[in-house]
């Protein structure tokens, strides 16, 4: 997993709670990196799982809820730091339509080490979309948070439903905007 994911998560904890809280979480997670990440580095996915597990214990929120909160925050950070990747996109559905063919392709060009998920647009109308998400990491709740973060960014009112398909590591999102 790219360092930018970890630096953003730690930053969120510092901002939303406190720098002390962020330190405490990182310490308790018992990470080899001891929480010193650099944005362009690459680190074990398991570190993310460990941090979220400690947060689960500390906050009483579920693993999925924590992923969602983080995804929401992460979209804002990525949109801010990678404005050029988002250029010309005007709605959450616009972004999702080009996620796999453009946005994450640009991300891969910037960070060749990135382990990106796979998104397929199953259908699209002006106001609705069905989108398939596939990733061995099963971060569908992070994806939900990123989508809600994108909707907030564009001022879109997004309604969505997630369906776990019979295929392992595969989810479908049914999305609509008003």
Q: Identify which of residues 52 and 146 has a Cβ nearer to ligand HEM in the complex.
A: 146
Sign of CA dihedral 17, 22, 24, 29: positive
Least distance to ligand HEM, CB of residue 28, Å: 23
| Residue pair 143/118 in contact by the 8 Å Cβ criterion | no
Any contact of residue 146 with ligand HEM (CB under 6 A)? Answer: yes
Residue 133 tokens, joined: 């998400």
| Strand order from edge to edge, sheet including 128-134 | 118-124, 128-134, 170-177, 158-164
Least distance to ligand HEM, CB of residue 47, Å: 11
What is the C-alpha end-to-end distance of the chain, expressed in Å? 35
β-strand pairing of 158-164 with 118-124: unpaired
| Residue pair 71/28 in contact by the 8 Å Cβ criterion | no
Least distance to ligand HEM, CB of residue 15, Å: 19
Least distance to ligand HEM, CB of residue 110, Å: 8
Under rule CB under 6 A, which residues in 58-77 are in contact with ligand HEM?
A: 75
Any contact of residue 147 with ligand HEM (CB under 6 A)? Answer: yes
Task: Identify which range of 18-26, 80-88, 120-128, 162-170 contacts ligand HEM by CB under 6 A.
Answer: 80-88
Single residue of 12, 66, 142, 158 touching ligand HEM by CB under 6 A: 142
Single residue of 54, 116, 152, 177 touching ligand HEM by CB under 6 A: 116
Size of the site for ligand HEM (CB under 6 A): 29
Any contact of residue 117 with ligand HEM (CB under 6 A)? Answer: yes
Any contact of residue 52 with ligand HEM (CB under 6 A)? Answer: no
Alpha helices in the chain (DSSP H): 3-16, 19-28, 45-59, 63-81, 83-86, 92-97, 104-110, 140-154
Least distance to ligand HEM, CB of residue 142, Å: 5
β-strand pairing of 170-177 with 118-124: unpaired
Single residue of 4, 12, 26, 158 touching ligand HEM by CB under 6 A: 4
């Amino acid at each position: 997993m790219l360092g930018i994911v970890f630096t953003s998560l730690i930053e969120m904890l510092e901002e939303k709670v406190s720098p002390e809280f962020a330190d405490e979480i990182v310490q308790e997670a018992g990470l080899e990196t001891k929480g010193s990440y650099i944005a362009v580095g690459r680190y074990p996915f398991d570190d993310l799982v460990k941090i979220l597990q400690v947060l689960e214990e500390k906050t009483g929120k579920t693993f999925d809820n924590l992923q969602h909160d983080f995804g929401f925050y992460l979209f804002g950070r990525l949109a801010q730091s990678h404005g050029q990747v988002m250029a010309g996109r005007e709605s959450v559905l616009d972004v999702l339509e080009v996620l796999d063919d453009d946005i994450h392709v640009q991300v891969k060009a910037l960070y060749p080490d990135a382990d990106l998920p796979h998104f397929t647009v199953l259908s699209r109308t002006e106001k609705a979309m069905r989108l398939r998400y596939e990733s061995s990491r099963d971060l569908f709740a992070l994806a939900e948070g990123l989508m809600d973060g994108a909707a907030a960014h564009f001022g879109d009112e997004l309604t969505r439903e997630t369906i776990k398909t019979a295929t392992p590591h595969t989810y479908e999102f049914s999305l609509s905007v008003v």
